[in-house]
Amino acid sequence: MPHILIFGATGTIGGALAHYLLSSGQHTVYGLARSPAKAKVLAKQEIIPVLGSIAEPKGFLDLLASHPEISVVVDAAAAYGESATIVDLLVTAGKKRLEEYERVGAPSGPKLGYVYVSGMWVHGSSHTPVSDMDALTGTSAAGSPPANMVAWRPQIERTILSPATRAVLDTAIARPACTYGSGSAIWGAPLSALLKATKASPQPPSVQITLDPLGTAALVHVEDAGAGIGALVEKLPLLAGTGVYPVFDFVGQIESVRAIMEGAARVFGYKGVVELTGVQEGDVLGEALSSSVIGDSGRARGLLGWEAKRRGFFSGIDLYATSWLAGTE
């Protein structure tokens, strides 16, 4: 039974990944917890809590040293500034694991696996199709710069894919599209603006949403994202050393941002006009949500056997908008 350690297991994507792994019945899942309260939340979900943090890593480093059965570490925390530190810590742990094989006279042993959860916003915004096989993504030679919200991630990706890192770790990059459903709060700001207009008495004749009216968002349901990353975790030992470029985009649908907002307004009961007025300067989340990313998951289907099961944000807007609304009450 493979053992997996997740950073960010209490988060949206990390939680979906943990649920996927546990529901398969084939995995033991550990989760990093910054506090006893977080540890209790993980334990209730049948995730084994490991107290500690990136600033205080002794707990999980000791775990990796004493439990060689932990085969893969997943960073789903999406924490700016901490991701580079995580890479350094895991490289050190990976070296120690290889040194231990040599010390006891083992001929060789499996490397520690590491999956970094990035995202498709590193492709930037363009109506030109993008590919997870494009090694120039996030560089100055790319067709479009990454969204400002994730401008730091391409350098992390390059470090993880570097020969020096891969000499001691089996690494892969998971890039889920913008998530929706299952409590994902990322669409909270524009949906809250719609809800405010809906509840006003009288309702205003129009509501301004600061998103790009021409945006076409790459989307994936949270549970589909968890399943995709889970499939990558499971296939990582098979992919390692094969020459397969270990970067995978996970996109379920590509939909109009305008259609999503107008659909949510209808579900909420707003009777006026929804105006998408463009992204305001400095609004990094609005810029990211408005990003037009035309990607596909052909490699994830072919190499990982992954398929998105949910039909789409707009197609299921009655369900997803109602679910989000229930979470606000």
DSSP states of 141-194: TSSSPPPGGGTTHHHHHHHHHSHHHHTTEEEEEEEE-EEESTT--TTHHHHHHH
Domain boundaries for CATH 3.90.25 within the chain: 188-216+254-295+310-324
Half-sphere exposure of 295 (CA within 13 A, CB side): 32
- The model's pLDDT over 174-197, given as tens digits with 9 standing for 90+, comes to 999 999 998 788 999 999 999 999
What is the CA angle 177-182-186, rounded to 5? 50
Length of the chain: 329
Spacing of C-alpha 255 from chain mean position: 19
Angstrom CA distances, 57 to 43, 72, 92, 169, 246, stand at 20, 17, 12, 18, 27
- The model's pLDDT over 138-173, given as tens digits with 9 standing for 90+, comes to 998 998 999 999 999 999 999 999 999 999 999 999
Residue 220's pLDDT is 98
Domain boundaries for CATH 3.40.50.720 within the chain: 3-180+218-250
Q: How sure is the predictor about 79, in pLDDT bands with cuts at 50, 70 and 90?
A: confident
Residue 304's pLDDT is 98
Residue 183's pLDDT is 73
The three-state secondary structure class of 270 is: coil
Pairing of strands 169-176, 247-250: parallel
Where would I find the H helices in the chain?
A: 12-23, 36-44, 58-66, 83-103, 153-161, 163-166, 188-199, 222-239, 257-268, 284-289, 298-299, 317-328
DSSP 240: T
Q: Which CATH architecture has domain 3-180+218-250?
A: 3-Layer(aba) Sandwich (3.40)
Q: Give residue 66's region: left, alpha or beta (phi > 0; psi -120 to 50).
A: alpha
Pairing of strands 216-221, 253-256: antiparallel
Q: How sure is the predictor about 1, in pLDDT bands with cuts at 50, 70 and 90?
A: low
229 and 115 in contact (C-beta within 8 Å)? yes
27 and 45 in contact (C-beta within 8 Å)? no
Residue 106, C-beta contacts closer than 8 angstroms, at least 6 positions apart: none
Q: Which CATH class is domain 188-216+254-295+310-324?
A: alpha beta
